[in-house]
Structure 1
């Protein structure tokens, strides 16, 4: 079987970069909690403990215990919402803040912004940096697959790192920046004129993105202040009206809802409601469309993990999700070939709960 153009697209989550030494969202929480024990961070420990406890409490009320979703994105999003204080649209409907909040902020809500800034600085300067040439070369598996696939390969990623750009450089990675280094959506519309073999859509931004004084998106190799790095935590408000985030979300939906027959999710934890909604619409709209999930899973938890994914996505068909019990590195290095992916469609019928150990 040979896939046609745009029948295979990729979605990369934080787990795809773990083997490159870049922690996933939950791993960043562990690193943050270690920092909060140090002298320069310990003043924020009470605030962190309060926010974390409140988030977990809110999940518990909804009955979400085993799959509690507390990670670095949710923490920063919550800090952003709290910083709005009386400017928040819900403020007129809220009788009062939790009395503990003024205590942990020492009656200074600016502390919320200071804490957020320190987290983003650590993320951009430490956690998301990697010795790419040494640790992330397994991403070159995307380049090898593209040659085997013989079509332009579309890769959507929720990650801020530069693993794909660095590792697949020889194949040609198109991110949408012109010769003037400014981003332009029209570049993606002229794919026949481009030599790049991989189109990379960074749905949540990148650690090398910045906007100039006119609000135009460009990129720099280094020296971007943490508060100016163009990344978003989750989808919230920017996705609604600011490019490239709006354009990339539209492209993901368009590609997934039209020609795509196989969505390959590598290291994605299904915690982004907006992305999940697009996937659900695509899989429920066409039951012949398949989703391959690449994630390391304990053998006795495979069936449970599959059912959790199906429940999260509210799928109407149980046959179109396949889980391969692999790390991203093992998948990219050993299993990512057209021949292996074609096995998902033997005689146009996908195997039910196919597992590779």
Structure 2
């Protein structure tokens, strides 16, 4: 695996980008790709679209990865000055208990805090270990001298301000990458590295290919627009979910055969597995029962394409996630070989 991919992961996870507040990270990616010579344009939703012309312009491809992450918004300011949250994306409150966070105000000021149970202290609350982790009981303790709703408002904090979670990105000597938001910044890093490689090696793709860095995937409509009628294949690069009854692991590329939206395109799936077998890329076939991707969003929007979903295996998805560099390498190899393959060979 190219070390540039790991550098991209560190760079991407360091920039907060909860769904709905992604302009900073999209702007950074646009600047980097423009410097490489690409024409990168944002659509009205704020996603970034890069079109790479290929030899065949009549049968086109569409490849996505999403840069938006889980997060929250200020739901209410409590009488004691602490904050009540409203979650953005599909996760549970217990997944963020004890996490550091940042409150992003509309004026641009930021404040740090910690996400805690109201009944955290075992010296005070008998139900500290048993109280439900929910919107009523979870709160943000702001790192400022505030003891009332009015004092918090004086900081400029209001309902609707975005809340991002500390990623705590770490790359271990044993090759593991631990961080929040590996879903889906690992995939974005892979696409950015491959786009850079196309320029460095002066490679012409067999098909005109559209790359979309989407920014609304976590709420269900990230990559469902801006799809040319000439697009015949749609590949979403996203995480592979690990757990009971799952084949996906942290050391191979996961190819999804079915998720909550239904089966993915059978022929395209077989095309991807053959690429893995021909190029000795470790892979797993899997079903994600509670999952939807940019590709499935595109199908619901009426796109007439063959759709597929691949990605690195991510442990503890939508919590403090982990993967291994070998899984990232396998995913990168599969996407690279797919981009260079003639679909009509």
| TM score, norm. by length of structure 1 | 0.25
* Higher normalized strand content (fraction of residues): 2
TM-score, length-scaled by structure 2: 0.26
